[in-house]
């Protein structure tokens, strides 16, 4: 048997009979062909990110918008890997409304949120860790803490062969580099993160993501870590002031094409088609995020206008409404805690919010009822 040399790397024959892929270091050689189409897509993506980033300076409570977008990203990225938890499940959990037997895959999503927040804090803090292999391992450890995959060496790069598809390396769709080849590939990857600033940053991000997924350095969680790295890198390079761009919805919507194009980089060295796909995702995702933010601002203004119908209770109504943008699912007991109202007054306020069309009862029960801010959740769920 023989080794197969390609633009992106080499398929090396292993002693066990299968071939594992050893990626070449980035940037590609021969160099990436940045043609007119790619330049135009990169320009459109830069403009879309610029609009999104500047929007954060004008919308009220921009950090709240980030708060919700991190949760939406965590849900969708986890769903790509097979979890069933929804955004409402996560918000119910964080609001203390979810029973233990209702948690489903929520813990995996909560870990994703924690890993995201930890990584963003590290790379933006002057004394924090830089974007590096050490930080990537820390992120992975938090991602798999106490959930599915916790027995697959969280926080450590693999010391055995893994594969994608099939039941064993010999019939797999893709076999990442052997452990011996993985180690230098990771050091080259870290070097790429720190250097190669002559390539436009969004194109660098696309190449970085495909390279990480190709190296596949963990036994589990590679997809989620790779998608987290997109946001980390954009914030690390100060392309984004706030973590407002998340591609998981686009990647989930185009999941098979996403996987096919990553594979085409490996088998045929087609970096160009992958980069163009990635840039289209940036354009679409950034534009959708701007549209979502505008819809939320419009909804907030409209529903704030309804508070005048509460008369002397307007102040408490505004407190509740503002809180719904953080926890858009509530119980009467929670409303009591938010507003410091009595049982009856809290129930009356919720009834008014239902009458105004702001809240909707979703359990159908007479006791322990829950109410959702459905218009807000609909905006978040459909973008």
State the Cα–Cα distance between residues 162 and 177, nearest whole angstrom: 9
Measured between its terminal Cα atoms, the distance across the chain in Å is 49
Q: What pTM was estimated for this model as a whole?
A: 0.92
Q: What angle do CA 10, 173, 143 make, to 5 degrees?
A: 95
Pairing relation of β-strands 371-372 and 360-361?
antiparallel
**What does the chain come to in residues?**
383
- H or E segment to which residue 329 belongs: strand 329-330
CA distance 177 to 92: 41
Domains in the chain (CATH in brackets) are: 33-162+174-293 (1.10.3290.10), 299-381 (1.10.10.10)
Alpha-helical (H) ranges within the chain are 36-55, 62-80, 87-94, 106-124, 133-143, 179-194, 201-215, 222-236, 248-253, 255-268, 271-305, 314-324, 332-339, 343-355, 374-381
- pLDDT tens track, the chain, 383 positions: 568 888 999 999 988 889 999 999 999 999 999 999 999 999 999 999 999 888 767 666 677 778 888 888 888 988 888 888 888 888 888 877 666 555 657 889 999 999 999 999 999 888 999 999 999 999 999 999 988 878 889 999 999 999 999 999 999 999 999 999 999 999 999 999 988 778 999 999 999 999 999 999 999 999 999 999 999 999 998 898 888 888 998 999 999 999 999 999 999 999 999 999 999 999 999 999 889 888 988 999 999 999 999 998 899 999 999 999 888 999 999 999 999 999 999 999 999 999 999 999 998 887 888 999 999 999 887 65
Which residues sit opposite 9 in a β-bridge?
A: 23
d(CA 269, CA 232): 26
Three-class HEC string of 145-166 = CCCCCCCCCCCCCCCCCCCECC
Element (H, E) at 4: strand 4-5
Q: Which of 169, 175, 184 is nearest to 266 (CA)?
A: 175
Grouping H, G, I as helix, E, B as strand and the rest as coil, residue 102 is helix
* Secondary structure letter of residue 174 according to DSSP: B
Residue pair 321/307 in contact (Cβ under 8 Å)? The answer is yes
């Amino acid at each position: 048997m023989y080794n197969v040399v390609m633009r992106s790397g080499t398929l090396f024959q292993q002693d066990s009979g299968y071939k594992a892929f050893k990626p070449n270091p980035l940037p590609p050689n021969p160099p990436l062909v940045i043609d007119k189409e790619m330049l135009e897509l990169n320009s459109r993506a830069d403009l879309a990110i610029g609009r999104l980033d500047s929007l954060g300076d004008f919308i009220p409570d921009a950090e709240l918008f980030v708060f919700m977008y991190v949760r939406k990203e965590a849900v969708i990225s986890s769903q790509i890997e097979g979890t069933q938890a929804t955004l409402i499940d996560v918000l119910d959990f964080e609001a203390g409304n979810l029973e233990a037997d209702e948690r489903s895959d929520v813990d995996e999503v909560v870990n994703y949120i924690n890993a995201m927040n930890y990584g963003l804090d590290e790379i933006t803090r002057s004394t924090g860790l830089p974007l590096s292999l050490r930080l990537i391992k820390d992120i992975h450890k938090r991602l798999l803490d106490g959930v599915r995959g916790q027995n697959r060496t969280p926080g450590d790069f693999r010391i055995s062969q893994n594969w994608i598809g099939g039941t064993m390396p010999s019939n797999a769709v893709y076999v990442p580099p052997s452990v011996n080849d993985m180690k230098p590939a990771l050091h080259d990857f870290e070097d790429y993160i720190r250097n190669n600033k002559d390539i436009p940053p969004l194109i660098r991000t696309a190449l970085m993501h495909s390279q990480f997924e190709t190296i596949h350095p963990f036994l589990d969680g590679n997809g989620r870590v790779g998608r987290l790295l997109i946001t980390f890198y954009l914030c690390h390079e100060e392309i984004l002031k706030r973590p407002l761009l998340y591609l998981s919805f686009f990647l989930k919507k185009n999941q098979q094409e996403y996987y096919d194009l990553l594979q085409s980089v490996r088998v045929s060295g087609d970096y160009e088609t992958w980069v163009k796909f990635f840039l289209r995702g940036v354009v679409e995702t950034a534009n959708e995020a701007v549209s979502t933010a505008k819809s939320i601002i419009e909804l907030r203004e409209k529903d704030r206008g309804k508070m005048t119908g509460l008369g002397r209770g307007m102040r408490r109504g505004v407190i509740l409404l503002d809180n719904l943008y953080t926890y858009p699912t509530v119980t009467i007991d929670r409303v009591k805690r938010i507003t410091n109202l009595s049982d009856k007054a809290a129930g009356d306020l919720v009834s008014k919010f239902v009458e105004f069309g702001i809240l909707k009862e979703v359990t159908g029960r007479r006791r322990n009822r829950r109410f959702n801010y459905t218009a807000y959740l609909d905006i978040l769920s459909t973008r």
